[in-house]
Amino acid sequence: MKRGFFITFEGPEGAGKSTQARRLYEHLQVAGYPVILTREPGGTRIGELIRRILIDLRHTEMAPTTEILLFSAARAQLVSELIRPYLTTGGIVVCDRYADSTFAYQGYGLGRDIDELRAITNIATGGLKPDLTFYLRIDVEVGLQRKRVGRERVEGSSGHPPEWNRLDARDLAYHRRVAEGFNELVRQEPERWCVLDAEQSVDDLAEQIWQLVMSRLAQDTPIAAQ
C-alpha cells in the first residue's frame, strides 16, 4: 500500500503550534506537495462538535474519564475519516496536536495511567503514529501569558482564533506537569521528536521546520512535489 508522511505539532499553550502548522502546510502546498492540514480535537464535523463539549468553560463537572474518551472519540473519527485515507493516497498530513497531547495532558497532567491511555489510544488510532513530531518548547508561564493576550492572533496566521478555554483555565501546576510530561515523552522516543525553541521569531522557527521537513522527506519517503 502506498504510504504518505504524517507530521504532528505538540507543545504547551501559546507555543505557536497552530501558526507553525499552518505555515508548514502552506509552504508544502506552494512547493507542490500533496498535503492537508488538520487539528485536534476537531478536524471533522463530528470532531468539531466534540471539541465544543471539551473546551466549554461551563463544563466544570466533566469527569476525567469522560474527557479522555471524548478526546479519543474525536481522534478516532479524524484518523478514520481523514488522516488514514489521505496517507493511503501517499499524501502528507500536518496535524496540530495528536495522541501525545493525551499522554501529556490527561496522563502527566491529570495523573492518569499512561499504559491505560496507550491502550485507549491504540483503539482510537488503530496504532497509527506520526512519522515526525515537532515539540515547540516554551516556558509554561510565557506560553499561558501569550495565549491570554492573544498574541498568536496578532501574528496572524493560525487560522483559528485562540480561545481561553476550560483546559487552559487549569492551574499553573497542571501546565507544568504537562510540560514535564512532554519532556518525558521526548526522552522515550527521541528519534520521532524534534524539539525546537518556540521563543524565537515565527519566521526563524518556520524556516527551521521547513529545512527539517525537507531533509526528512528526502530520506524517508518517495513523495515528490508535483
Nearer to ligand TYD, 165 or 221 (CB): 165
What CA–CA distance (Å, rounded) separates 125 from 29? 26
CB of residue 118 vs ligand TYD: minimum separation in angstroms?
13
CB of residue 72 vs ligand TYD: minimum separation in angstroms?
8
Q: Buried b vs exposed e over 78-113: b needs ≥16 C-beta within 10 Å?
A: bbebbbbebbeebbbbbbbbbbbbbbbbbbbbeebe
Nearer to ligand TYD, 56 or 163 (CB): 163
The helix or strand, by DSSP H or E, that contains position 101, with its residue range, turns out to be: helix 99-101
User: What residues between 35 and 64 interact with ligand TYD by CB under 6 A?
Assistant: 40-41, 55
Q: Say how many residues touch ligand TYD, by CB under 6 A.
A: 16
If 0-12 CB within 10 Å is exposed, 13-18 middle and 19+ buried, where does residue 61 land?
A: exposed
Compute φ and ψ for 20, nearest 5 degrees. -70, -35
CB of residue 23 vs ligand TYD: minimum separation in angstroms?
15
CB of residue 117 vs ligand TYD: minimum separation in angstroms?
9
Q: Is residue 18 a contact point for ligand TYD (CB under 6 A)? A: yes
Q: Is residue 13 a contact point for ligand TYD (CB under 6 A)? A: yes
Q: Are 20 and 134 in contact (CB under 8 A)?
A: yes
Q: Which of 20, 77, 101, 133 binds ligand TYD (CB under 6 A)?
A: 101
Q: Are 24 and 7 in contact (CB under 8 A)?
A: yes
Nearer to ligand TYD, 25 or 71 (CB): 71
Q: Is residue 91 a contact point for ligand TYD (CB under 6 A)? A: no
Q: Is residue 165 a contact point for ligand TYD (CB under 6 A)? A: yes
| Residue that is written with C-alpha cell 495528536 in the block | 98
CB of residue 99 vs ligand TYD: minimum separation in angstroms?
7
If 0-12 CB within 10 Å is exposed, 13-18 middle and 19+ buried, where does residue 38 land?
A: buried
CB of residue 65 vs ligand TYD: minimum separation in angstroms?
13
Which residues lie near ligand TYD (CB under 6 A)?
13, 17-18, 40-41, 55, 71, 97, 101-102, 105-106, 163, 165, 167-168
